Amino acid sequence: MSRSFSEDAYKAANEPKELVITPGANHIDLYDRVDLIPFDKLEAFFKEYL
Q: What distance lies between CA 42 and its chain's CA centroid?
A: 8
Which pLDDT score is estimated for 3?
Answer: 86
CA distance 33 to 24: 12
Residue 22's identity, in one-letter code, is T
The pLDDT of residue 2 is 81
The terminus-to-terminus CA distance of the chain in angstroms comes to 29
pLDDT of residue 30: 86
pLDDT in tens, 1-37: 688 999 999 999 999 999 999 988 888 888 899 999 9
Helix (H, G, I), strand (E, B) or coil at 29: helix
